[in-house]
Amino acid sequence: MKDSRNSVKIETETIYETRYISNLFNSMSKTYGLVNYISSFGFTERWRHQCIAYLPETGQMLSGYDLMSGMGELWHSLNKRLSKKAKVIAIDLSEIMHREATKKKERYSFHIETLQADILQLTLVYESADFIVSSFGLKTFNHEQLQNLAEVTCNLLRPGGTFSFVEISSPSSRWLRIPFHFYLKWLIPVIGRIFNGNSNDYRMLGIYCEKFQNAYGFTSMLREQGLAAEFKSLFFGCASVVYGCKPGSV
């Protein structure tokens, strides 16, 4: 194996290692926001709004988590939903994504605490969350890591607490899937390059997406943990949402 994102040959195990992922997003951080917006024709922003719209209504939304929070791309959508008293802990692995998120947190009316950490290695307060949200952070987890994430989600939510995760997905129709993957793997890297990013970094997003497929598997994992989870496909399967709640009430 040549250990570099500039190498074409990358072993599957390597791309799910936290150091690899953190380097990847550190490297993409400068161009990520713009490239993401332009290359998705604004769809990623729309899907973030939909992620928050699917978050079930509950009595209280005072304390929550934004997992794999990046540079706080979900906060604009969350701002419309949360009161000024609400507090969100935003967790991201990448130092630079975390640093940029920390700079932005004062722009929002709710309180934000940013943490740079691997969500699967953190010890967080059991049943401390009224809600958990996450946008585009599932695809860089392999099967086993997704199972751990489902367990973390269940442990963090209080009974009655809600969650919503959105991720880019592989459309089920062949007619759409083939051009979609071609676009992700070959054209997005070119767009990334045009905006001064590293095209190999952007190519990885397509590779992760192809391996991830969609949020259906994660929906089953959340159900196995005892959560009430619903799966929804967005825009002909180009993205998918899993949302629901932890049964019970406090």
Binding site for ligand SAM (CB under 6 A): 18, 21-22, 25, 48, 68-70, 73-74, 91-94, 97, 118-120, 135-137, 140
CB of 70 to ligand SAM, least distance (A): 2
Pick from 155, 122, 118, 121: which is nearest to 140 by CA?
A: 118
Maximal CA-CA distance, the chain:
52
Residue among 17 and 224 whose Cβ is closer to ligand SAM: 17
Complex with ligand SAM: residue 27 or 128, whichever CB lies closer: 27
For residue 97, the minimal CB distance to ligand SAM (Å) is: 4
CB-closest chain residue to ligand SAM: 70
Of residues 119 and 245, the one with the C-beta less far from ligand SAM? 119
H or E element at residue 53: helix 43-54
With respect to ligand SAM, which residue has the nearer C-beta, 35 or 157?
35
Q: To which H or E segment does residue 135 belong?
A: strand 129-135
Q: What's the token pair of residue 83?
A: 């009161």
Rounded to the nearest 5°, which phi and psi values hold at 85?
-80, -15
- Please tell me the distance from the alpha carbon of residue 42 to that of residue 33, in angstroms, as a whole number: 11
Whole-number minimum distance, CB 73 to ligand SAM, in Å? 4
CB of 146 to ligand SAM, least distance (A): 11
* Cα separation, 92 vs 11, whole angstroms: 24
| Of residues 137 and 206, the one with the C-beta less far from ligand SAM | 137
Shortest approach of ligand SAM to residue 142 CB, angstroms? 11
CB of 184 to ligand SAM, least distance (A): 13
114 versus 162: smaller Cβ distance to ligand SAM: 114
Interacting residues of 104 by C-beta distance below 8 A, sequence separation 6+: 71, 72, 75
How many Cβ atoms are within 10 Å of 148's Cβ, its own excluded? 15
